[in-house]
Amino acid sequence: MNPPTDRRPTAIRALRHDAAARPFLVIWETTRACALVCQHCRADAQHAPHPGQLTTAQGFALLDDIASFGRPSPMIVLTGGDPFERDDLAELIAYGRAAGLSMALAPSVTPRATRERFAEVAAAGAKAVSISLDGASATTHDGFRGVEGVFDATLPVCRTIVELGMRLQVNTTVTADNLDELPAVLRQVLDLDAFLWSVFVLVPTGRGDALTPLDADTVEDVLHWLVDVSRHLAVKTTEAPHFRRVVLQRQRSGDADPVGTFGLGETYVRLREGLEGIVADRELPTRTPRPPLDINAGRGFVFIDHVGAVYPSGFLPIPAGSVRETPLPDIYRDAPLFRQLRDPSLLAGRCGRCEYRAVCGGSRSRAYAVSGDPLGEEPYCAYDPVGGALVTGARA
C-alpha cells in the first residue's frame, strides 16, 4: 500500500489554499467570563470579565487583522467563557460581517442565552452557533456544567437557533463517564436538526485534568463508530485528527467488517448496536459522508485569547505572540512554533514514523499536555505505524 503522504485522498478535504499563508478557522475567546463551571473547561472561566480583555475597539482591530489574510477569508468563531457576557457582541459580529468574514458563535447556555439575544446576533450576521450537549440526561450534562437546570434549558435553546435560521452545531466532550450515552446523545442531535455533530476527545488540561479520559483503544473504537455515524449525519472531531487516518483506513478496507479487520473492541460493538437501533427506529437514510477537513493546531487553525495572546490551539497553552504587539498574520505565518507545527517531519515518536502524519499529525495539544512536548507523539492513538498496513492497534 502506498502511504498517503504525497497526495491528498478524496476521503479527506484539503484546504484550497496554503495553510501556511492563512488559517481556515480562527477562534477568538472574547471573554473568560462565564456563569458555568464546566468540569472540562480548558480556560478555567471566571464569573467576572478580566479587566485586560480586548476592548470593542481592539476587537474591531483584530477582525480587520483577520480580514487582512485575504481571500478566502478565515471563518471566525466567537467563544469564551461565554461571549454573551459581552454587551458589544452584536457589534463585533456586525463589524466582522461588514469586513467580509463568516461569523459564528459558541455561547454557554445560561440565563443570558435568550431568544432576544440570539435574534440580535442573527440579525448582526451570525450564521452558525455551537452548543454543548455532554450527556443524554440532566444528571450527566448538568454534572459536566456544574450548574443544575442547564440540560433542560439547552434543548429549547437549540431549537431557537434553528428556528431563527442559523446552523446548529452540537458539541459533545467524550470521557469514560459519558461514553455509553453517545448513542442517546446522537438521538438528541438528530431530534434537534443539527447540521453537524462535533465530538471532542478530552485534552487533560485546565479543569479537564480532573476528568477520566478514554484510553487509546477506546478512542479507536469511538472514531470507527463515528465513521459509521457519518453515513447518516455530518460529523467532525475536535482534538482527534486521527479520525482522518481512520476514515482513510475504512475507505481502503471497503465492506470488510471493521471489528475483525481493525481489531476493534467491545466499546465499538456496543456503540454500533446503539447506532443500528437508531437507524432502524428512525429509518435514517444513508448519506455521503462529510469528509473531515485536514487542519490541525497552527496548520489552518489559530486561537486568540481574551487578552490578545495567540496560540496554535486553545488547548495548547504555548503563546506565540500577542495581537496587541504584532499583526496576527505575521504571528501565524512566521512564529517559530507555528512553523514547526506545520512541518510533519519534526514530529516525534510514532507520529514521526507514521505514514499518515501529513493528514493527521496527532493532537498537538494532548501531546503537550501529557509529555510537555508539542511535537511529541499522540498519547491517545492506538495505531502502530508499520509502513501502510491496514491495522495494528494496541490490542493487536
* Lowest-confidence region among 122-131, 207-216, 237-246, 369-378: 207-216
Q: What does the pLDDT average to over 135-142?
A: 91
pLDDT tens readout for residues 225-257: 999 999 999 999 999 999 999 999 999 999 899
Pairing of strands 167-174, 126-132: parallel
More confident of the two residues 299 and 48: 299
Q: What does the pLDDT average to over 316-334?
A: 97
Does the pLDDT at position 3 exceed 90?
no
Domains of the chain: 25-214 (3.20.20.70)
Give the N- to C-terminal CA distance of the chain in Å, as an integer.
20
More confident of the two residues 71 and 94: 94
How confident is residue 276, by pLDDT bands cut at 50, 70 and 90? very high
Does the pLDDT at position 394 exceed 50?
no
Does the pLDDT at position 206 exceed 60?
no
Report the pLDDT value the prediction gives residue 180, as an integer from 0 to 100. Answer: 96
pLDDT tens readout for residues 19-62: 999 999 999 999 999 877 665 555 555 677 888 999 999 999 99
How confident is residue 115, by pLDDT bands cut at 50, 70 and 90? very high
Does the pLDDT at position 146 exceed 50?
yes
Report the pLDDT value the prediction gives residue 41, as an integer from 0 to 100. Answer: 56
Q: What does the pLDDT average to over 162-191?
A: 96
Does the pLDDT at position 7 exceed 90?
no
Report the pLDDT value the prediction gives residue 210, as an integer from 0 to 100. Answer: 62
* Lowest-confidence region among 99-103, 205-209, 391-395: 391-395
Q: What does the pLDDT average to over 328-341?
A: 98
* Lowest-confidence region among 47-51, 121-125, 325-329: 47-51
Report the pLDDT value the prediction gives residue 211, as an integer from 0 to 100. Answer: 73
pTM: 0.92
Q: What does the pLDDT average to over 100-129?
A: 97
Does the pLDDT at position 133 exceed 50?
yes
Report the pLDDT value the prediction gives residue 244, as an integer from 0 to 100. Answer: 97
